[in-house]
Chains A and B, each alone.
Chain A
Amino acid sequence: MSTPTEHGRPDPETTTLARSSDGRPVSDRGDTVCVIGAGASGLTAVKNLAEHGFGVDCYERETGVGGAWNWRHDRSPVYASTHLISSRPFTQFPDFPMPDDWPDYPHHSRVLSYFERYADHFDLRRHIWFGTEVVRVEPVAGDRWDVSTRSTGGYGPERTSRYAAVVIANGHNWSPKLPRYDGLEEYRGEVMHASSYKDPAQLRGKRVLVVGAGNTGCDLAVEAAQQASRCWHSTRRGYWYAPKYVFGRPADQVNDTLLALRVPLRLRQWLYHRTLRLTVGDLTRFGLPEPDHRVYETHPIANSQLVYHVGHGDITPVPDVARFHAHAVELTDGRQIDPDLVVFATGYLPRFEFLDAKILGDDAGVGRPRLWLNAFVPDHPTLAVTGLVQPDSGLFPLSHWQAVLFARLLRLRATRPDRAAAFAARVSAGAGERYSGRVEDSTRHWFEVGHVDYLRALERALRDLEGK
């Protein structure tokens, strides 16, 4: 097994020299496919492409695998207490199960060890260039791609290699999204984004305001309830706080029982509301706002403890922030509170800094590409983005199937160009399609998918592609 630091360029005999458009030397990697990132989505892309017979070069800016789930990585959003919010059957790769003696919702350190075992089991590290970041990806003639890389941190020479195809798996939870507030510059208290929150000690004894009701925001509010001297939790609206367990079983497994029975959405929503009403009860009694939408219309929040701590009085629910003053925060209801630490759990934005935004159909450059199946790019049949989905369950199986579909497409380009062309037409026609019931349209929710709707569409694409 090679260690991350000792690797030569794999199979150098396939490398020949060419020139880029501006005359730089380019090493031509033939039919090899380039994968950007060795996190969950990148690893499964490497594994599935190699399994389908492709040579693969994967570039990873860090020195280990696991991407976001490797807490040592400076772009990792995980904090000490991060646990999965989807249970194991929805989270594991479909062809590499997590150990069945693991808990239903494993800790992030276990998730990382799972990826490390996946990489070793399928001998993936030999494909990965660690400590190498991608600076530029440019299309060249023949649907091929020039990928320029350099050592992470920017030192050392740049080198450019030409690939038959590129898989972008650079993650979407590393570039913080910070809302603008009036007066934030003059605020004297401490301000941080949740991406730099790692350890509950950062909250201990402080008066903390947590902004945001995503899963991270709720986790942080619960930690602040236990560690901080005071905790306010600011949310823009009312949400459904789903417990991790209902009827003694992981809640997502109960939900999928209904999906397997093909219970219609409206009935599932009613059952869900009913169950929450009977178990958690009326949230407005706790001072939480009434949800202004039905369940399944926003990204689900799986948190059994938030309401509990509100009931203990350890969390004070407050509305949205109106503006900041030097020593206080003004809320939209006119109240003023005086935290000494504000944590913005306001999410992340996808970013593809190495690629011309127009290629992904993101003409405005706001990190919102126009893709089919959230993965396939109109007019660029040899480019795919994987893992750019926010499912109402685990992400990794979706990334796996995206990679499988892309690998089969690449193979059919050689053997059955007619089917590949039909697929390309489908990509152009369907770009921007959504795979869920009615959900919010925002920077947070545009790539939200229902896992069953999405996988069903992907399964159909796979069968159409193979003519079965």
Chain B
Amino acid sequence: MTELSERTRVLRNWEWARPVRPVRREVLSATPELEEGQPPLLFVPGFGHGAWAYAEHWLGHAASRGFPAYAVSLRGHGGSASAPEADLRAYAHDVTQVAASLPRQAVLVGHGAGALVVAHALARYPARAAVLVAPVLGGWATLGAALVHHPFGTLPAVFGGGLRLHRRQLFSRELPDADARRYTARLGRAARRAQWQLLTGADPEPAVGRPPVLVLGSPDDRVVPASALTRAARRYGSAPLLFPGMGHDLMLDARWREPIDAILDWLVKAPARADRP
């Protein structure tokens, strides 16, 4: 994982010449009964997950605390239209499209590889703030960690197959087995090209508008090791917020309430715009 590039990019001939093809996108939402002046939150699920993963607990909880909450299914996931040829750029496009459609400047929350999608989207949309939950920011170290923890689920993905995650990687033992099975049964897979770009793709460009970024995760996560969390947080000039004893899917695990409350508390404290060097 290299340092973030700091050069602002103005010219994007290829992107202009070949705009991302639009697809039908699933957006789930929960909004507070009374408008309380809080910024909207846009949750971005990781590879294999859909907006449903947030609809289970986090959307409703955020709304109950006064935050309008939205979750998008990246193309090819959840209820969005299928997109076998999708790449990271198409996923980031889905995020900026939904973010720009919200009534006010949004906070982007990305989980797993969805955090990498958010990091790319931050270069194309001036978010009010960003939260990276158990971020998988790509690079070969990601592959190493995945191979160590779950070789047989990971190997097919290296050769273009789907990435299979075991429920014991995603959830702690506190989560009832039935729930864990129900959630893993809903997992899909990301497009082949996007999976490859997770390993070999270019680093995200610098975020526009310098939003404050919070990184959080679990030291007992068996997809993202604690060292990766620290590295990700350092990239954005902070230290990660840790929730020991939880699995990778913090929004579905038994103690889902703790991380989302921490995120909302951080937002209520109105983090300042990150300082420029």
Which residues of A are in contact with B by a Cβ distance under 8 Å?
51, 53, 88-90, 94-97, 99-101, 117, 120-123, 252-254, 256-257, 259-260, 401, 404, 411, 452, 455-456, 458-459, 462-463, 466, 468
Contacts and interface: CB of A to CB of B under 8 A. Distances in A.
A121 B104 contact: yes
B104 A459 contact: no
A97 B18 contact: no
A99 B97 contact: yes
Contacts of A95: 124-126, 208-209
Contact of A100 (B97, B102, B103): B97
A295 B20 CA distance: 29
B16 A463 contact: no
A256 B17 contact: yes
Interface string B6-26: 111111111111111010000
A410 to B, nearest CB: 13
A121 B22 CA distance: 22
A257 B10 contact: no
B7 A468 contact: yes
Residues of A contacting B: mostly: helix
B101 interface: yes
A97 B19 CA distance: 11
Contact of A97 (B9, B100, B273): B100
A100 B93 contact: yes
A95 B273 CA distance: 17
B121 to A, nearest CB: 10
Nearest to A462: B8
Contact of B13 (A51, A99, A121, A256): A256
Contacts of B125: 95-97
B105 interface: yes
A204 to B, nearest CB: 38
B154 interface: no
B29 to A, nearest CB: 17
B273 A53 contact: yes
A253 B208 contact: no
Contacts of B73: none
A41 B15 CA distance: 23
B101 A99 contact: yes
Which of B8, B20, B103 has the most chain A CB within a 10 Å cutoff? Answer: B8
Contacts of A256: 13, 16-17
14 contacts: A53-B273, A94-B12, A94-B124, A95-B209, A97-B124, A99-B100, A99-B101, A100-B19, A100-B22, A100-B93, A117-B100, A120-B103, A121-B102, A257-B18
Nearest to B20: A100
Residues of B contacting A: mostly: loop
Nearest to A102: B22
Contact of A101 (B6, B22, B124): B22
Contacts of B273: 53
Given A89-B19, A256-B16, A260-B17, A459 B93 contact: no
Contacts of A100: 19-20, 22, 93, 97
Contacts of A120: 103-104
B18 A253 contact: yes
Contacts of A456: 10-11
B100 A121 contact: yes
Interface string B111-137: 000000000000011100000000000
A458 B10 contact: yes
B96 interface: yes
Interface string B237-277: 00000000000000000000000000000000000010010
A183 B130 CA distance: 66
Which of B9, B16, B103, B276 has the most chain A CB within a 10 Å cutoff? Answer: B16
A466 B124 CA distance: 20
Nearest to B122: A95
Contacts of A411: 276
Contacts of A462: 8, 10
Contacts of A51: 126, 209
Nearest to A398: B10
Contacts of A459: 8-11
Given A257-B17, A411-B276, 18 more contacts: A51-B209, A89-B19, A95-B124, A96-B100, A97-B96, A99-B97, A100-B20, A100-B93, A121-B100, A121-B105, A253-B16, A256-B17, A259-B13, A260-B13, A452-B11, A452-B13, A459-B8, A462-B8
Listed from nearest, the 9 A-B pairs whose CB atoms lie closest are A260-B13, A100-B22, A459-B10, A256-B17, A257-B17, A89-B16, A89-B19, A51-B209, A260-B14
Contacts of A458: 10
A90 B97 CA distance: 16
Which of B13, B209, B276 has the most chain A CB within a 10 Å cutoff? Answer: B13
A458 B11 CA distance: 10
B93 A90 contact: no
A88 B209 CA distance: 23
A395 to B, nearest CB: 14
